[in-house]
């Protein structure tokens, strides 16, 4: 009596990789590029492309209007340094929509140990995610600013072009990108669910915007105009606006009660440091 085999070993051609291993740097770069593509929906479904591309189109609308006014009326209506403050709601929605995408799936499905098996470290992973979101936010601001500046040059406005303001606004875009990406990733990383991550980022923006505005209004109405600028620092967009003014010499939105430049820059650095430290601690715990 013969018995049939109960197990079969199939040779499906697994082979060891004998090529060049590019190391941590290239692995971090690959993760960052892939994350950046995902922020704008590239390589994802059509549905995932709608929100980021729609928000990017909305960010261009003031630029189109500004160029039209410059061409027809020869008037400059949208100062470069104030663009981010004017469009802060759109930027906040973009941040809330994309921050959870970068961190929530890996936390929810517990695939972080796969990334960290080799050669990536927790720091490499966090830096790649932060850099991807920061580059996306910088592009969201820099593209309309650059288009408006090119439009100003082509329209040939009376007087010299606002080159210093444009360059200062690009520096401010870097500050916005670093601060907002740090805060957005920090808030979104504390929950593995994208919906809760979106809600936390939106709630943070609405709370800081409302509280800073209320405090500033109360202080102004009570005659304490000198403290109103400090209250506005609770809003990250005004915080960067004042730091941008201190570092690049631009004119802030609220010029009457601007806090000292050094203090504003130190507060900005402290917020970024706290946010990045929180993300690192969160992922060290998730990876353990």
The more confident residue out of 258 and 268 is: 268
Nearest CA among 288, 287, 240, 283 for reference residue 264? 240
Q: How many Å apart are CA 190 and CA 196, to the nearest integer?
A: 9
Burial class (CB in 10 A: 0-12, 13-18, 19+), 286: middle
DSSP string, 120-132: --HHHHHHHHHHH
**Over residues 13-37, mean pLDDT:** 85
**Over residues 248-266, mean pLDDT:** 87
Nearest CA among 182, 180, 200 for reference residue 190? 200
The more confident residue out of 11 and 134 is: 134
**Over residues 27-44, mean pLDDT:** 93
Structure confidence by residue, pLDDT tens digits, 79-126: 999 999 999 999 999 999 999 999 998 888 888 888 887 788 999 999
pLDDT value, residue 220? 84
Nearest CA among 90, 82, 101 for reference residue 191? 101
CA distances from 196 to 94, 150, 181, 201, 281 (A): 15, 40, 17, 9, 20
> How many Cα atoms within 13 Å fall on the side-chain side of residue 24?
11
pLDDT value, residue 4? 62
Residue 1 has pLDDT above 60, yes or no: no
- Whole-model pTM over 0.95: no
Structure confidence by residue, pLDDT tens digits, 161-195: 999 999 999 999 999 999 999 999 999 998 889 99
Split at pLDDT 50, 70, 90, the class of 199 is very high
């Amino acid at each position: 009596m013969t018995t049939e085999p109960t197990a079969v070993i199939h040779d499906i051609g697994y082979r060891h990789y004998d090529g060049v291993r590019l190391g941590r740097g290239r692995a971090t770069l690959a993760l960052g590029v892939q994350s950046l593509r995902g922020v704008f929906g590239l390589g994802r479904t059509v549905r995932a492309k709608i929100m980021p591309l729609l928000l990017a189109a909305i960010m261009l609308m003031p630029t189109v209007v500004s160029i039209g006014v410059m061409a027809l009326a020869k008037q400059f209506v949208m100062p470069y340094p104030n663009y981010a403050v004017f469009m802060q709601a759109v930027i906040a929605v973009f941040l809330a929509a994309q921050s959870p995408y970068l961190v929530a799936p890996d936390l929810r499905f517990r695939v972080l140990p796969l990334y960290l098996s080799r050669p990536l470290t927790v720091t490499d992973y966090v830096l790649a995610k932060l850099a991807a979101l920061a580059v996306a936010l910088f592009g969201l601001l820099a593209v309309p600013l650059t288009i408006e500046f090119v439009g100003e040059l082509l329209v040939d406005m009376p007087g010299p072009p606002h080159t210093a303001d444009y360059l200062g606004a690009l520096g401010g875009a870097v500050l916005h990108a670093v601060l907002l990406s740090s805060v957005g990733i920090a808030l979104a990383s504390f929950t593995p669910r994208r919906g809760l991550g979106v809600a936390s980022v939106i709630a943070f923006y609405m709370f800081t915007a409302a509280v800073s505005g209320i405090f500033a209004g109360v202080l102004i109405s009570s005659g304490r105009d000198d403290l109103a600028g400090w209250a506005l620092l609770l809003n990250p967009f005004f915080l960067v606006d004042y730091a941008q003014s201190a570092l690049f010499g631009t004119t802030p939105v609220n010029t009457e009660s601007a806090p000292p430049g050094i203090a504003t820059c130190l507060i900005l650095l402290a917020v970024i440091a706290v946010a990045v430290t929180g993300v690192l601690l969160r992922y060290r715990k998730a990876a353990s």
